[in-house]
Amino acid sequence: MGDKFLEISEAVKKKLAEIGSLQDLQDLKVKYLGKKGELTTMLKGLGKMAPEERPIFGQKVNQLREELEKSMARRERDVKEKLLEQRLAKEKIDVTMPGKNIELGSVHPITQVIQEVEEVFLGMGYSIADGPEVETAIYNFDKLNTPADHPARDLQDTFYVTEDVILRTQTSPVQARVMESQKPPIKIICPGAVYRSDTLDATHSPVFHQIEGLVIDKNITMSDLKGTLEMFAKNCLGQNTKVRFRPHHFPFTEPSAEADVSCFVCEGKGCRVCKQEGWIELLGCGMVHPKVLQNCGIDPNEYAGFAFGFGVERIAMAKFGIDDLRLLYENDVRFLKQF
């Protein structure tokens, strides 16, 4: 039996010297030290031995196991070191080589316009207000003087989640919520996404972005609105930009107006951007309707205010000379790199 122990010891030593991978080493462990390995098989023969021989044989088996485990552990360390050296030699980095260029992204033109507008109005003492995009019809229509029989309530004009819950068609509901929760004076702008049932083409999209503004205080007049919009236009579109009002109708303002700006490309002389008119339609605005103030819990006999709103995409298209709205949504890197 002593020859068997010596035979196993010599065989393991020989195979350990030939091993070049961790997998081969694992296979060797299983063959000799595993549950069905050589040493386990030898221990199963204890039952056939005389009682006085069993302790001696068991001790020798355990000694051999301890010897093999130590030998295999040493060989495992050697193999790992060798593999690491090979890997380091193969993956050696030439620190003198130039690094890889990492392309940095840029701010999307829509985001650029929103951030620029926010900076202008923050400098004028406004705060930024936010609200839900999934809105109730009460805030989107009723509180803004647009009753149930108004044409704007047509099911074709927006996306209805339920009969009384819609995707907001404008950011005006944010104004209504602020007027309900905050006492005048109020000076806010409300940027955000809005939704309307429009067909996507060069100038329309069912999803677009608006920025609306609201001022409520005592003794607010139309001249305050005109001065505010002129300052905004000069800061965003150029110091030579002029603003003009054209009469219009909105249910939530009275009087109402469309505000145009002089073309910042040709300075009003007429060009491709302004379609030879010298003016570019910018936004809708007006004095807040007394019914809107009443609906939001503000006394129209004590307070007055003005509101305005414009599409961010329209500003971006005019500012950057973009002639197709869809370009802003296609995420074409070749297009976006220009900004």
Q: Are residues 164 and 213 in the same domain?
A: yes
| Domain limits for position 28 | 2-90
The verdict on residue 99 lying in a domain is: no
Same domain, 79 and 140: no
Based on the fold, state whether residues 187 and 292 are members of the same structural domain.
Answer: yes
How many CA atoms lie within 13 Å of 53's alpha carbon, on the beta-carbon side? 9
Helices 2-18/22-33 angle, 10° precision: 170
Q: Which two tokens stand for residue 323?
A: 């002639």
Residue 204 lies in a domain: yes
Is the domain of 137 the same as that of 83?
no
| 254 shares its domain with 127 | yes
Beta pairing class for 127-128 and 186-195? parallel
Q: Is residue 331 part of a domain?
A: yes
Q: Which of 90, 125, 143 is the last residue of a domain?
A: 90
Q: Please give the C-alpha separations between residue 61 and each of 45, 51, 57, 71, in angstroms, as whole numbers.
A: 11, 16, 6, 15
Decide if 97 is inside a domain.
no
Kindly give the parts of the chain with pLDDT less than 50: none
Is 104 contained in some domain? no
Our count of domains for the chain comes to 2
Contact by Cβ (8 Å): 229, 251: no
Instruction: Point out the domain boundary residue: 90, 119, 153.
Output: 90
Q: What is the pLDDT of residue 235?
A: 86
**Same domain, yes or no, for 197 and 324?**
yes
Measured from the Cβ of residue 225, the count of other Cβ atoms closer than 10 Å reads 24
103 within domain boundaries: no
Q: How far apart are CA 129 and CA 172, in angstroms?
A: 11
Q: Are residues 166 and 302 in the same domain?
A: yes
**Concatenated DSSP letters for 255-297?**
EEEEEEEE-TTTTTS--TTTTTSSEEEEEEEEEEPHHHHHHTT
- Whole-structure pTM value: 0.66
Q: What pLDDT is attached to residue 156?
A: 62
> What pLDDT does 227 receive?
92
Identify which of 285, 239, 284 has the alpha carbon closest to the alpha carbon of residue 262: 239
Phi, psi of 221 (to 5 degrees): -130, 175
Residues 116 and 84 in one domain: no
* Final residue of a structural domain among 90, 122, 146: 90
182 in the same domain as 71: no
Domain identity same for 232 and 195: yes
Domain CATH code at residue 169: 3.30.930.10
- Is residue 131 located within the same domain as residue 41? no
Asked if residue 203 belongs to a domain, the reply is yes
- What are the angstrom distances between the C-alpha of 57 and each of 43, 47, 53, 227? 8, 11, 6, 105
Residue 156 lies in a domain: yes
Query: What is the rounded distance in angstroms from the CA atom of residue 265 to the CA atom of residue 263?
Result: 5
Measured distance CA(193)–CA(174) in Å, rounded: 12
Same domain, 68 and 170: no
pLDDT of residue 237: 79
- Degrees, nearest 5: CA angle 167-173-175: 155
